[in-house]
Structure 1
Amino acid sequence: MREDGLLFPFQFPFMQHAFLICLIVSVPTALLSCFLVLKSWALMGDAVSHATLPGIVIAYASGLPLIFGAFAAGMVTSLVTGFLAYNSRVKQDTVMGVVFSGMFGIGIILYTSIDTNAHLDHILFGNMLGVGPGDLWTAGAISLVVTLALVLKWKDLLLHAFDPAQARASGLPVNLLHYGLLTILSMTIVATLSATGLILAVGLLIAPGAIAFLSVRRFSVMLPVSVAVCTLSMLLGTYASFWLDSAPAPTIILILTALFLVAFARRMILTRRAATHPG
């Protein structure tokens, strides 16, 4: 294939916007995924992403920007889930399941009850090829804030993820870190709304960190590896979707899933080899 053929997708403005949104959202989602994996908060990302649906529908019916509704619903879900988990004997995964299903059910009822031109498929699965300049600016601003917060506070968040009791004993504001991470999670989901939608956003919030976790041993190395994996997967998935005539978001998730399986197989081989030859 000629070089101009390989560069053909970059000639279209909608593909340029798609590649830009990939570069913008890949960094915060990858960084956040490392903390979610360490804290075993994978279900939290899933719950918050699904639970933003009622906020989106209400915002659309009220004529407000969808991101306001999504962020408000995400914050409500995060705070309610965190409060119930901290102040009850019910395990956190159970609380998340109840809150997530309830919010998602409310969202579906509202969507079917309100006359709207918004496509549910675009909300749930994203519309990366329909990203506009406004979406790029919104995602960019949110991504910048989230990235700065995670980079500046990664050591405190790391200690809180591994040992909250030690973090409290060290004088760290544990409650602020807890709810701050929930806030960052909601903001990140809003940033990825136009790219991958609600359902597939969870893939970006889990897979990069899981792949990096299986590939390296140090958390300081895990962060850049996760960013590299997420960025390359998003760019490659978007590029491949053009030639395969497929939706970009599912293609990206499939690539991340394949990389996870490769990383998992590699880790198993290394573990068996170390067990067989301990010296």
Structure 2
Amino acid sequence: MTAVHLLLEPMSYDFMLRALATTLIASIVCAVLSCWLVLIGWSLMGDAVSHAVLPGVVLAYVVGAPFALGAVVFGFLAVGLIGAVRDTSRIKEDAAIGIVFTTLFALGLVLISVVPSHTDLNHIIFGNLLGVSSSELLQVSVLGVITLVVLAAKNRDFTLFAFDPTHAHALGLNPKILGALLLGLLALTSVVALQAVGVVLVVAMLIIPGATAYLLTDRFQRMLIIAPAISVVCALVGLYASYYIDTASGGMVVLSQGGVFVLVYLFSPRHGLIGRRLSVRRRRREMADPSLTVQPQ
């Protein structure tokens, strides 16, 4: 069997083409947004919102409304509840996040168990990448385009908000509105990703690409390129691996991202655990033996 045949065989099936398109869209959107989440320090918030949208998605299914509508409503509800618990009690933000998102996630699980349905709603939790329909692919595409367009249009504002909210306010920007807009995009992105990997693994796609890129570069605009590139490669590797070894597609995509993060964490030239040590040893050798240093001509 040739390499070309290995690459083309999975794409001879329509369900694999839809799975590939869905995975690539979800990977790119999640990776771009993850750069801001990692920079701001909203990893826990990403976890909270991605799980809290579950009851909203189920209720939207019940009334026949778009999944995105239910997700956005419950995403903002989760943020509001977290703020209320934090501001009106002795409970700190991390504990408030844990309380709210687990409660709403549990509510979603209960709704799934009691809602009469001709379809298996468990795919919302665990993903059903190989079962994505044409209509679901269209929804993912529309939400993905909307999210990317808004992120591109507000790139400078979001970046300034992430680095220095006080400076952003001094320039006439409203940090609260920018934060709310990012949370809304987070809810939309969660809907995009849950079609691929389900609610349980959405947080991985929202954090790992940005965290990996953060270890590879100190420039944010480069992060916005590196993170999607890594995510796309992992999506392809994970999808093909799941096809040939017959494993869960969404899980393999996330596992690929985790594997790349481990390699970068260890061997990144400037920020890797082993890479830093090798760099220090190399500099020490150069200082001990000046002949090892390249002299300018």
Short-chain TM bin: over 0.9
C-alpha distance in 2 between matches for 1:165 and 1:157? 13
Displacement of 1:216 in angstroms is 1.2
Deviation at 1:85, TM superposition (A): 4.9
* Cα deviation 1:100-134 (Å, max 9, x = unaligned): 01211222222223333442431111111111221
Would you say the 8 A contact 1:78–1:183 is kept in 2?
Answer: no
Which ranges in structure 1 are unaligned for 5 or more consecutive residues? none
Consecutive unaligned residues in structure 2, runs of 5 or more: 288-297
TM-score by length of 1: 0.92
Aligned partner letter, 2:214 = F
The aligned runs of 1:1-279 (5 Å cut-off) are 1-2=1-2, 3-82=4-83, 85=86, 90-266=91-267, 267-276=272-281, 277=283
**Could you say what the CA RMSD is over the residues aligned between the two structures, in angstroms?**
2.0
**TM-score, scaled to structure 2:** 0.87
Equivalents in 2 of 1:174, 1:134: separation in Å? 36
- State the Cα deviation string for residues 44-74 of structure 1 (Å, max 9, x = none): 1111111112112222333334343233222
1:230 and 1:83 map into 2 onto residues whose CA distance is 35
CA distance in 2, matches of 1:44, 1:21: 24
Q: Is the 8 A contact 1:79 1:179 kept in 2?
A: no
Asked whether the equivalents of residues 71 and 190 of structure 1 are also in contact (C-alpha less than 8 Å), the reply is no
Cα distance in 1 for partners of 2:221, 2:175 equals 21
Higher relative contact order (CA 8 A, sep 6+): 1
CA gap of 1:161–1:85, structure 2 versus 1, over 3 A, is farther
Q: CA–CA distance in 1 between the matches of 2:264 and 2:256?
A: 12
Provide, for residues 227-274 of structure 1, a one-character-per-residue CA deviation record: whole Å limited to 9, x for no partner. 100111112111111001111100011111100000000112232244
Question: Larger C-alpha radius of gyration, 1 or 2?
Answer: 2
Q: Cα gap change, 1:31/1:87 in structure 2, threshold over 3 Å: closer, same or farther? A: farther
Greater alpha carbon shift after TM alignment, 264-273 vs 174-183: 264-273
Call closer, same or farther: CA 1:5–1:272 in 2, change over 3 Å.
closer
Between the aligned partners of 1:210 and 1:54, the Cα distance in structure 2 is 28
Shift of 1:179: 0.4
Give 3-state SS (helix, strand or coil) of 2:160's partner.
Answer: helix
How many percent identity over aligned positions?
38
More off after superposition, 154-163 vs 249-258:
154-163
Quick one: which amino acid aligns to residue 269 of structure 1? Answer: I
2-structure distance, mates of 1:105, 1:226: 31
